[in-house]
Amino acid sequence: MSMGGDGSGRYDGPGVEAPGEGEEPKWWDSAEGHRFALEVLQLRVRRDILKLVAEGGGSAEEAAGKLGIDEKRAAFHLAMLEKALVVEAASCGYRATPTGLLYLEKVEGSSGGGP
């Protein structure tokens, strides 16, 4: 979900503009938000989708095709990743947030964006 324009760090739901150039990246407001993100990322398929998004494959259709899962299921997993603040809606589907890229780098040992 996207962060509100007031800089509060709260995410206000689909359709809210993502932070623009020079704005602070999204972070969790509380320990509960951080815990939620870790729970979301426990599923291998969600981590795989995050990696695909970081590499430029940012739609439910692309994720479904590459991972061999139903498109509705891929859309659900993308929505959960968005709620966890590791991906955000973009004009081409989804893109990894700085938080998502940091997760890939520090936890998964991958920086995304290709070799």
Measured CA to CA, the distance from residue 27 to residue 19 in angstroms comes to 12
Q: What is the pTM of this model?
A: 0.71
User: How far is C-alpha 76 from the geometric centre of its chain's CA atoms?
Assistant: 12
What pLDDT was estimated at residue 34? Answer: 78
Give the chain's end-to-end CA distance (angstroms, integer).
Answer: 28
At 76, is the pLDDT very low, low, confident or very high (cuts 50, 70, 90)?
very high
CA dist 86 to 28, 77, 103, Å? 10, 12, 8
**What CATH number was assigned to the domain covering residues 29-108?**
1.10.10.10
* pLDDT over threshold 50, residue 26: yes
Mean pLDDT of 46-70: 94
User: How far is C-alpha 55 from the geometric centre of its chain's CA atoms?
Assistant: 12
